[in-house]
Structure 1
Amino acid sequence: MLFRQYLHTNPIAASYLFGCGSKAQGVIVDPLKEEVDFYIEEAKRLGMNIEYVIDTHLHADHISGARELSQKTRANYVLHHSADTDFEFTAVEDGDEIMAGNTKLTVLHTPGHTPEHISIVVTDTTRGDDPWFVLTGHTLMVGDAGRTELASSLEQGATNLFKSLQKLSGLGEYIEIYPGAFSGSVCGRKLSGKPTSTIGFEKRFNHALLIQEKDDFIKHMMEDVPPQPENFKEMRKVNQGK
């Protein structure tokens, strides 16, 4: 499997290029609009054809490059089926599987940060049947969980997020976590500058995961909420195609 993590600083976000090198089938996750041509050149340099472009959610802190990238590469643009958009996309549901050559992507619906949010569990089938890592977007990040009021009420989002974190906690402790943001992002608090972790490490040290009662978690998510991104409603509408 080929795998690349790109750490962007304006805005602060992480995007990913990975897939099956032997069959030249690649996937881009959470691309930024400003970097569309960069992803295309990176895929060419690595000898990969971009087959799927995935947004873990409809972003509210930056403009997604997914639609433009999918149009330029003729790749399938993937979102959770509940995504409220004015354009067509390849819809997925919880438990769906996508194959990019020998790389298997399993979709987990993990709402909370936004209602349509998904996480992606990735397996290199040439190495075995067990998953290797999970792309968690803004659901579970290193050090904290994503904020919950940009696309719903804070309390409803926190309720959904609590359930989503329980789902992710059920994955193997060895599984690596690759989030959609890191320290400096306004989409979470207490985020680490180290943009990778494991399920096991976060279960031991991530305060959001240490909270076992739903009411306590909701209270936690309502405290010290960071400033909202500037023009976040407008950015989400652009990403919805509205």
Structure 2
Amino acid sequence: MLFRQYLHMNPVAASYLFGCGSLSQGVVVDPLKEEVDFYIKEAETLGMNIVFVIDTHLHADHISGARELAEKTGAKYVLHSSAETTYEFNAVEDGEVLMAGNTKLTFLHTPGHTPEHISIVVTDTRRGEEPWFVLTGHTLMVGDAGRTELASSIEKGADDLYNSLQKLMELDEHIEVYPGAFSGSVCGRGLSGKPSSTIGFEKRYNLALQKGNKNEFVKFMTENVPPQPDNFKEMRKENQGM
């Protein structure tokens, strides 16, 4: 498997290019609009054809490059089926699987940060049948969890996010965690500058995962919320095609 993590500073975000090198099928996750041509060049350098472009959610802190990238490469643009947009996309459901060559993508619906949020459990089937890592977007980040009021009420988002985190905690502890943001992002609090972790380490030390029950978690997520991103409503609407 080929795997690249790209750390962006304006806005603070992480995007990904990975997939099956032997069959030249690649996947891009959470691409930024400003970097569309960069992903194309990277894929060409790696000898990869981009077959899927995925947004873990409809972003409210930056403009996605996913639709443009999909159009330029002929890839399928993937969102959860509940995403409210004015355009067509390849809809996936909780538990659905897509294959990019020998790379297996299993989608988990993990709402909370936004209602349509997904996480992607990735398996390199040439190495084994067990998952290797999970792309968690803004559901589970290193050190905390994503804010919950940019696309719903803060309480409803926190309630959903608690359930989503429990779903992720069912994954094996050795599985690597690659989030959609890191320290400096407006979409979380107290995030680590280290942009990857494991399920086991986060289970032990992530602040959001130390709450004993849902009520404690919701209270935690509704306190000390950072300022909202500038023009977040407009950015989310643009990503919805509205």
What TM-score do the two structures reach when normalised by structure 2? 1.00
1:210 CA displacement: 1.4
Please state whether the residue corresponding to 1:31 is helix, strand or coil. Answer: coil
Task: Report what 2:127 is aligned to.
Answer: 127
Task: Report what 2:89 is aligned to.
Answer: 89
Equivalent-residue separation in structure 1 for 2:197 and 2:77 (angstroms): 27
Backbone CA RMSD of aligned residues: 0.3
Task: Report what 1:190 is aligned to.
Answer: 190
Equivalent-residue separation in structure 2 for 1:165 and 1:181 (angstroms): 16
Give the 5 Å matches for 1:48-197: 48-197=48-197
Please state whether the residue corresponding to 2:162 is helix, strand or coil. Answer: helix
Please state whether the residue corresponding to 1:78 is helix, strand or coil. Answer: strand
The percent of aligned pairs where both chains have the same amino acid is 78
Counterpart residue identity of residue 176, structure 2: E
Task: Report what 2:39 is aligned to.
Answer: 39
Counterpart residue identity of residue 41, structure 1: K
1:198 CA displacement: 0.1
Task: Report what 2:223 is aligned to.
Answer: 223
1:203 matches 2:203: yes
1:114-158 Cα offsets, whole Å, 9 max, x none, are 000000000000011100000000000000000000000000000
1:211 CA displacement: 1.1
1:28-56 Cα offsets, whole Å, 9 max, x none, are 00000000000000000000000000000
Unpaired runs of 5+ residues, structure 1, are none
Please state whether the residue corresponding to 2:43 is helix, strand or coil. Answer: helix
Equivalent-residue separation in structure 2 for 1:222 and 1:17 (angstroms): 33
Please state whether the residue corresponding to 2:95 is helix, strand or coil. Answer: coil
Number of positions where the alignment pairs a residue of Structure 1 with one of Structure 2:
242
1:212 CA displacement: 2.5
Please state whether the residue corresponding to 2:37 is helix, strand or coil. Answer: helix
1:135-185 Cα offsets, whole Å, 9 max, x none, are 000000000000000000000000000000000011000000000000000
Please state whether the residue corresponding to 2:236 is helix, strand or coil. Answer: helix
1:83 CA displacement: 0.1
1:178-229 Cα offsets, whole Å, 9 max, x none, are 0000000010000000000000000010011111310100000011000000
**Structure 1 ranges of 4+ moved more than 4 A:** none
Unpaired runs of 5+ residues, structure 2, are none
Equivalent-residue separation in structure 1 for 2:11 and 2:195 (angstroms): 15
Counterpart residue identity of residue 76, structure 1: K
Counterpart residue identity of residue 74, structure 1: G
Counterpart residue identity of residue 2, structure 1: L
Equivalent-residue separation in structure 2 for 1:199 and 1:190 (angstroms): 18
Counterpart residue identity of residue 48, structure 2: M
